[in-house]
Amino acid sequence: MQYAYPLLAIFIWAGNTVITKMSAGAIFPAEIGFYRWLLAGILFTPFMLKPVITHWPAIRPNLGKIFILGVLGMAVYQSLAYFAATLTSATNMGIILSLMPLMSLVMAIVSLGQRLTAGALAGAVLSFAGVLVIISSGNLAALLEHGVNLGDAMMLIATLAYAIYSTLLKKWQLRLPPLVLLYLQVLVAVMVLFPLFLTSPKIGLTQQNIPLVLYACLLASMIAPLAWMQAVVRLGPSRTTLFFNLLPLITALIAAVVLQEQLAMYHLVGGVLTLGGVIVSERWTTVLGRRPCAA
């Protein structure tokens, strides 16, 4: 039963990558990005006002940090993903997103003083090679000639933003209930994305795109984070993070069924390299530069 929580979160987030792709053409990226967090904020508010007031003494001195977390984790990450979806496939997005744990590990080594391991170094090389295969469609010469697809580049930046978010979350260790912190970040996203929403073209809510907004809000923004929090409590952060490695595979399978995206050999090769790099980085824990103890 304890494994149901991380699996539920991963399936929802994989589905949300496909929903993000389906939103392209059905609703403008700035619209769904804003509506998603606005609806989540409205639904959370009746239950969260009292906890926010109760924890205000701890919230007030950390408002700047909460703002940065909300911008990176909610506004920048997901908004860029919606823009990327207009230019690349859901399968590519899922595989690039699988770099997030490795990016977080590298940042932990740089900013949190975590020791560099042989696995982190080897994993970085493997995963980087895998992403190169994906964004070049298996043709590295074409990548050198034409550059990176703009959608893939946006997804890389979005993944980097979320990795920075995860690192800051660990570094700052804000002493707030997870649900309160999530709610405050949702409010930040609404505030930050509102100007972009106002100045962007709009299709408006329609019979076609309302289900996409509801999925992004109810499942991806509310239920999946709550399930992930429960998984961290029950399994611990390290064991829970391992389930993130399933994201590219599940995303690719859902995209193949729902969007009829064709899985090419370069997807398989790139996916195996990227996933292998993450696994190696987590499993091979020999610290580099450690001197053998004198006999």
Per-residue pLDDT of the chain (295 residues; tens, 9 = 90+): 778 888 898 899 889 989 988 988 899 989 999 999 999 999 999 999 999 999 999 999 999 999 999 999 889 988 888 888 888 888 788 778 777 777 777 787 777 776 767 777 777 778 777 777 776 777 777 666 656 678 888 988 998 998 888 888 888 888 889 899 999 999 999 999 999 999 998 998 999 999 999 999 999 988 988 888 788 778 766 667 667 767 777 888 888 888 887 777 877 787 788 777 767 776 776 776 555 444 4
Cβ neighbors of 280 (< 8 A, separation 6 or more) are 119, 122, 123, 126
Does residue 128 lie within any of the structural domains?
Answer: yes
Does residue 96 lie within any of the structural domains?
Answer: yes
Backbone angles phi, psi at 53, to 5 degrees: -65, -40
Does residue 227 lie within any of the structural domains?
Answer: yes
Would you say 8 and 246 are in contact if contact means Cβ atoms under 8 Å apart?
A: no
Does residue 124 lie within any of the structural domains?
Answer: yes
pTM: 0.80
State the Cα–Cα distance between residues 94 and 114, nearest whole angstrom.
27
DSSP 227-248: HHHHHHHHH-HHHHHHGGGGHH
Does residue 53 lie within any of the structural domains?
Answer: yes
State how many domains the chain has.
Answer: 1
State the Cα–Cα distance between residues 31 and 65, nearest whole angstrom.
26
Does residue 152 lie within any of the structural domains?
Answer: yes
Does residue 289 lie within any of the structural domains?
Answer: no
CA-only gyration radius of the chain, Å: 20
Burial of 47 (0-12, 13-18, 19+ CB in 10 A): exposed
Host domain of residue 221: 4-283
Token pair in block for residue 42: 């409205």
Residue 246: name the closest of 1, 23, 78, 3 by CA.
3
State the Cα–Cα distance between residues 258 and 226, nearest whole angstrom.
26
State the Cα–Cα distance between residues 111 and 61, nearest whole angstrom.
22
Does residue 279 lie within any of the structural domains?
Answer: yes
Which H helix or E strand runs over 266?
Answer: helix 265-283
